[in-house]
Amino acid sequence: LRTKPEDHTLTETQAVPLFSRAAIGSFFQEQPVLRNPFTQDALLRAYLRRHLALQVESDLRTFGERIVSEIDALGRQCEQNPPRLQQYEAWGRRADRVITCPAWTRMKHIAAQEGLVAAGYERRFGEWSRVYQMCKLYLYAPSAGLFSCPLAMTDGAAKVIQSLGMPVKEAFARLTTRDEKRFWTSGQWMTERMGGSDVANGTETVAWRQEDGSFRLHGFKWFTSATDADFTLTLARIADEDGNTTPGTRGVSLFCAEVWGSDGFTNGIEIQRLKDKLGTRQMPTAELLLDGTRAQLLSEEGRGVASIANMLTLTRIHNTVSAAAAMRRITQLGREYSTKRSVFGKLLKDHPLHVQTLSRMEVETRAAFLLMMEVCRLLGREETGAATEREAHLLRLLTPVAKLYSGKQAVAVVSEGLECFGGQGYIEDTGLPAMLRDAQVLSIWEGTTNVLSLDVLRSISKSSGLVLQAFFSDVEQHHNELHRGKPHQSGAARINMLID
Amino acid sequence: LRTKPEDHTLTETQAVPLFSRAAIGSFFQEQPVLRNPFTQDALLRAYLRRHLALQVESDLRTFGERIVSEIDALGRQCEQNPPRLQQYEAWGRRADRVITCPAWTRMKHIAAQEGLVAAGYERRFGEWSRVYQMCKLYLYAPSAGLFSCPLAMTDGAAKVIQSLGMPVKEAFARLTTRDEKRFWTSGQWMTERMGGSDVANGTETVAWRQEDGSFRLHGFKWFTSATDADFTLTLARIADEDGNTTPGTRGVSLFCAEVWGSDGFTNGIEIQRLKDKLGTRQMPTAELLLDGTRAQLLSEEGRGVASIANMLTLTRIHNTVSAAAAMRRITQLGREYSTKRSVFGKLLKDHPLHVQTLSRMEVETRAAFLLMMEVCRLLGREETGAATEREAHLLRLLTPVAKLYSGKQAVAVVSEGLECFGGQGYIEDTGLPAMLRDAQVLSIWEGTTNVLSLDVLRSISKSSGLVLQAFFSDVEQHHNELHRGKPHQSGAARINMLID
Amino acid sequence: LRTKPEDHTLTETQAVPLFSRAAIGSFFQEQPVLRNPFTQDALLRAYLRRHLALQVESDLRTFGERIVSEIDALGRQCEQNPPRLQQYEAWGRRADRVITCPAWTRMKHIAAQEGLVAAGYERRFGEWSRVYQMCKLYLYAPSAGLFSCPLAMTDGAAKVIQSLGMPVKEAFARLTTRDEKRFWTSGQWMTERMGGSDVANGTETVAWRQEDGSFRLHGFKWFTSATDADFTLTLARIADEDGNTTPGTRGVSLFCAEVWGSDGFTNGIEIQRLKDKLGTRQMPTAELLLDGTRAQLLSEEGRGVASIANMLTLTRIHNTVSAAAAMRRITQLGREYSTKRSVFGKLLKDHPLHVQTLSRMEVETRAAFLLMMEVCRLLGREETGAATEREAHLLRLLTPVAKLYSGKQAVAVVSEGLECFGGQGYIEDTGLPAMLRDAQVLSIWEGTTNVLSLDVLRSISKSSGLVLQAFFSDVEQHHNELHRGKPHQSGAARINMLID
Amino acid sequence: LRTKPEDHTLTETQAVPLFSRAAIGSFFQEQPVLRNPFTQDALLRAYLRRHLALQVESDLRTFGERIVSEIDALGRQCEQNPPRLQQYEAWGRRADRVITCPAWTRMKHIAAQEGLVAAGYERRFGEWSRVYQMCKLYLYAPSAGLFSCPLAMTDGAAKVIQSLGMPVKEAFARLTTRDEKRFWTSGQWMTERMGGSDVANGTETVAWRQEDGSFRLHGFKWFTSATDADFTLTLARIADEDGNTTPGTRGVSLFCAEVWGSDGFTNGIEIQRLKDKLGTRQMPTAELLLDGTRAQLLSEEGRGVASIANMLTLTRIHNTVSAAAAMRRITQLGREYSTKRSVFGKLLKDHPLHVQTLSRMEVETRAAFLLMMEVCRLLGREETGAATEREAHLLRLLTPVAKLYSGKQAVAVVSEGLECFGGQGYIEDTGLPAMLRDAQVLSIWEGTTNVLSLDVLRSISKSSGLVLQAFFSDVEQHHNELHRGKPHQSGAARINMLID
Torsion angle of alpha carbons B67, B69, B75, B81, nearest 10°?
-170
Q: What pLDDT sits at residue A196? A: 76
What pLDDT digit, counting tens, does each position of B247-281 carry? 999 999 999 999 999 888 899 999 999 999 999 99
Q: Nearest 5°: CA angle at A289, between A287 and A294? A: 125
Ordered by start, the domain boundaries in chain C are 42-175, 186-303, 308-498
Rounded distance, CA C137 to CA C135, Å? 5
B231 near B300, Cβ under 8 Å? no
CB B399 within 8 A of CB B375: yes
pLDDT value at residue D485 = 60
pLDDT per position as a tens digit, A276-327: 999 999 999 999 999 889 999 999 999 999 999 889 999 999 999 999 999 9
Query: A191 forms bridges with which residues in the sheet?
Result: A223
Cα–Cα distance for residue pair B3/C92, rounded to 1 Å: 20
pLDDT score of A54: 66
Q: Do residue A9 and residue C17 have CB atoms under 8 angstroms apart?
A: yes
- A308-499 placed in CATH 1.20.140.10: yes
Tell me if B18 and A424 make a contact (CB, 8 A cut-off).
Answer: no
Using alpha carbons only, how large is chain B's radius of gyration in Å? 26
Q: Is B375 exposed, middle or buried (0-12, 13-18, 19+ CB in 10 A)?
A: buried
3-class secondary structure for chain B? CEECCCCCCCCCCCCEECCCCCCCCCCCCCCCCCCCCCCCCHHHHHHHHHHCHHHCHHHHHHHHHHHHHHHHHHHHHHHHCCCEEEEECCCCCEEEEEECCHHHHHHHHHHHHCCCCCHHHHCCCHHHHHHHHHHHHHHHHHHCCCCHHHHHHHHHHHHHHHHCCCCCHHHHHHHCCCCCCCCCCEEEECECCCCCCCHHHHCCCEEEECCCCCEEEEEEEEEEECCCCCEEEEEEEECCCCCCCCCCHHHEEEEEEECECCCCCECCEEEEEECCECCCCCCCEEEEEEEEEEEEECCCCCCHHHHCHHHHHHHHHHHHHHHHHHHHHHHHHHHHHHCCCEECCEEHHHCHHHHHHHHHHHHHHHHHHHHHHHHHHHHHHHHCCCCCHHHHHHHHHHHHHHHHHHHHHHHHHHHHHHHCCHHHHHEHHHCHHHHHHHHHHHHCCCCCHHHHHHHHHHHHHHCCCHHHHHHHHHHHHHHHHHHHCCCCCCCHHHHHHHHC
Report the pLDDT value the prediction gives residue D196, as an integer from 0 to 100: 75
Chains in contact with A, where contact means 3 or more Cβ–Cβ distances below 8 Å, are B, C, D
- How far, in Å, CA of B41 to CA of C434, rounded? 34
C23 touches chain A (CB under 8 A): yes
- Best of C20, C88, C276 to disrupt the A interface (most A CBs within 10 Å) is C20
Beta-carbon separation of D31 and C91 below 8 A:
yes
Which of D40, D128, D47 lies closest to D496, judged by CA?
A: D47
Give CA angle at C163 (C159, C167), nearest 5°.
Answer: 95
Q: Is the pLDDT of residue B7 over 50?
A: no
pLDDT band with cut points at 50, 70 and 90 for residue C226: confident
CB contact under 8 A, D91 and C431: no
pLDDT in the model for residue C177: 98
- B215-225/B285-297 β-pairing: antiparallel
What subunits touch chain D, counting only 3 or more CB pairs under 8 A?
A, B, C
Closest partner CB to C14 (pick from A16, A87, A272): A16
Residue D21 C-alpha, separation from nearest chain B C-alpha, in angstroms: 6
What gap in Å lies between CA A275 and CA A260, rounded to an integer?
A: 21
**Residues C298 and C161: beta-carbon distance below 8 Å:** yes
Is the CB of B131 inside 8 Å of chain A's CB atoms?
no
pLDDT of residue A237: 96
CB atoms closer than 10 angstroms to residue C246:
15
**A21 pLDDT more than 80:** no
Check residue A264 and give its pLDDT.
Answer: 84
Contacts of D276 (CB under 8 A, 6+ apart): A427, A428, A429
Q: Is the minimum CB–CB distance between A214 and chain B shorter than 8 Å? A: no
Contact A324, A368 (CB under 8 A): yes
Distance (Å, rounded) from C-alpha B122 to C-alpha B48?
19
D244 contacts C24? CB cut-off 8 A: no
Question: Contact C97/C85 with Cβ under 8 angstroms?
Answer: yes
* Contact assignment for C218 to D17 by CB distance below 8 Å: yes
Alpha-carbon span C298 to C300, nearest angstrom: 7
What integer best gives the mean pLDDT of chain B? 90
10-residue averages of pLDDT along chain D (500 residues): 32 41 62 92 94 85 97 94 93 92 96 98 95 97 95 97 95 98 96 83 92 93 92 96 91 96 90 95 94 95 93 96 98 95 92 97 97 97 96 97 97 98 95 97 94 95 95 90 61 39
> What is the sign, positive or negative, of the torsion defined by CA atoms of B190, B195, B198, B199?
negative
pLDDT at D52: 82
**Separation CA B63–CA B67 (nearest Å):** 6
Contact yes or no for A116/A143 (Cβ under 8 A):
no
Report chain D residues whose CB lies below 8 A from the CB of C81: 81
pLDDT, residue C262, reads 86
- The percentage of residues in chain C with a pLDDT greater than 70, rounded to a whole number, is 91
* Residue in A14, A25, A272 closest to C16 by CB: A14
Closest among C422, C434, C331 to B444, alpha carbons compared: C422
Are B132 and B125 in contact by the 8 Å Cβ rule? The answer is yes
Instruction: Sort out which chain C residues have CB atoms less than 8 A from B194's CB and list them.
Output: 27
Q: Does B210 touch chain C (CB under 8 A)?
A: yes
Beta carbons of C142 and C308 less than 8 angstroms apart: no
Mean pLDDT, chain C, whole residue set: 90
Q: Do B10 and D16 touch (CB under 8 A)?
A: yes
User: Exposed (0-12), middle (13-18) or buried (19+): which is D211, by Cβ within 10 Å?
Assistant: exposed
Distance CA A360, CA A219 (A): 47
pLDDT at C485: 61
So what's the pLDDT on residue D242? 86
Is the Cβ pair C1, D270 closer than 8 Å? no
Q: What is the pLDDT of residue C23?
A: 55
| pLDDT at C358 exceeding the cut of 60 | yes
Does the beta-carbon distance from C17 to A3 stay under 8 Å? no
Out of B15, B19, B272, the one facing D88 most closely (by C-beta) is B272
Closest CB to A418 among D218, D440, D450: D440
* pLDDT value of residue D438: 97
Give the CA distances from residue B49 to residues B46, B114, B332, B377, in Å, rounded to whole numbers and listed in that order. Answer: 5, 21, 21, 15
Q: Chain B within 8 Å of C208 (Cβ-Cβ)?
A: yes
DSSP symbols for C363-430:
HHHHHHHHHHHHHHHHHHHHHTT---HHHHHHHHHHHHHHHHHHHHHHHHHHHHHHHTTGGGGGBGGG
Is B54 or A375 the better-scoring residue by pLDDT?
A: A375
- Whether residue B357 and residue C425 make contact (CB cut-off 8 A), yes or no, is no
Give the SS3 label for residue A8: coil
Task: Find, in chain B, the residue whose alpha carbon is nearest to that of D23.
Answer: B19
Segment among A401-415, B384-398, C359-373, D29-43 with least mean pLDDT: D29-43
Cα–Cα distance between C341 and C336 in angstroms, integer?
Answer: 9
- Per CATH, the architecture of D186-303 is what? Beta Barrel (2.40)
- pLDDT at position D495: 37
* CB < 8 Å to B424, chain A: 90-91
* Domain at C308-498, CATH homologous superfamily: Butyryl-CoA Dehydrogenase, subunit A, domain 3 (1.20.140.10)
Exposed / middle / buried, residue C441 (Cβ in 10 Å: 0-12, 13-18, 19+): buried
CATH number of A186-304: 2.40.110.20
pLDDT of residue B26: 61
Report the distance separating Cα C64 and Cα C142, nearest Å. Answer: 12
For residue B480, what are the contacts with CB-CB under 8 A and spacing of at least 6?
B486
Q: What share of chain A is helix, strand, coil (3-state, %, to 5)?
A: 50, 15, 30
Q: Give me the residue from B25, B344, B422 closest to C220, CB to CB.
A: B25
pLDDT digits (tens, 9 = 90+) for A98-143: 999 999 999 999 999 999 999 999 999 999 999 999 999 999 999 9
Please tell me which of the candidates B16, B25, B273 has its beta carbon nearest to residue D19. B25
Instruction: Please name the amino acid found at residue C282.
Output: Q
pLDDT grade for A497, boundaries at 50, 70 and 90: very low
What chains are in contact with C, requiring at least 3 Cβ pairs below 8 Å?
Answer: A, B, D
Rounded Cα distance, B473 and B495, in Å: 17
Nearest residue of D to residue C22, measured between CA atoms: D291
Contacts of A18 in chain C (CB under 8 A): 23, 25
Decide if B488 touches C, using CB distance below 8 A.
no
Across the interface, of A25, A28, A440, the residue whose CB is closest to D415 is A440
Residue D497's pLDDT is 38
Q: Which of residues 253-282 of A touch D (CB under 8 A)?
A: 272, 275-279
Task: Return the SS3 of A478.
Answer: helix
- pLDDT tens by residue, B130-164: 999 999 999 999 999 999 999 999 999 999 999 99
Cβ of residue C94 closer than 8 Å to a chain D Cβ: yes
Closest alpha carbon within chain A to D5: A292
- Percent helix, percent strand, percent coil in chain C, to nearest 5: 50, 15, 30
SS3 label, residue C89: coil
Q: Is B90 on the interface with D (CB under 8 A)?
A: no
Residues B56-64: what's their mean pLDDT? 95
Give the number of B-C residue pairs with CB atoms closer than 8 Å: 172
Integer Cα distance of D96 and D105 in angstroms: 18
